[in-house]
Amino acid sequence: MQKEYKAVFLDKDGTIVDNSGYPYIIPTDQVLINDIIEGLQYLQKKGYKLFIISNQSWISKGRLSQEQVEVIFQSVFKKLKEYDIKIAGHYYCPHKKSEDCECRKPKVKLILQAAAEHSLNLNESIFIGDMEMDISAGRNAGMKTVLVLTGMGSKYNSKIKPDHVIKNVNQINEVIR
């Protein structure tokens, strides 16, 4: 039987990178260094593989090419690598909400794809994000959910309650032991 791994799925914009310039500055590679590094290092030490699941509708809106979005992701990975943080995979939906695709959060196609490609046990995994679509995606995939108050998290007002609420990713050790 193949070993299954536990994972942490992270939203990108507002969770691991600063999106305070939205919608004028999109997307950004400005990593929230003071809010995420210790937390991501902690999760890796606990044996979690790290993944990014993101909606990047700028592609279908014609504001950015897929190549431009990929350059931004690679820049984020390079910055995280300086702190020995490895992102095991990244997946993003290029579609607009109106296209009603299967890969846009809160739907779970990209999460299931990551789980299949990396032998992940979703019941042992966590989704961390700053918006309702992140919390819903995690719930829909059967994971524990964590809302961070960075990005749009401080304005979170949804009937869909996360399992945990923390100030930023660095506080993940308060909910994951």
Spot the catalytic one: 13, 18, 35, 134: 13
Instruction: 112-118: list long-range contacts, CB under 8 Å, 24+ apart.
Output: 112/141, 114/7, 114/9, 114/51, 114/53, 114/89, 115/7, 115/141, 117/89, 118/5, 118/7, 118/49, 118/51, 118/88, 118/89
Is 11 annotated in the active site? yes
First-to-last alpha carbon distance for the chain, in angstroms, is 27
Euclidean distance between CA atoms 61 and 8, whole angstroms = 29
Is 13 annotated in the active site? yes
Which residue type occupies 92? Y
Euclidean distance between CA atoms 19 and 102, whole angstroms = 25
Structure tokens at 55: 């909606």
Spot the catalytic one: 11, 18, 35, 130: 11
| Radius of gyration for the alpha carbons in the chain, expressed in angstroms and rounded | 15
Active site residues: 11, 13
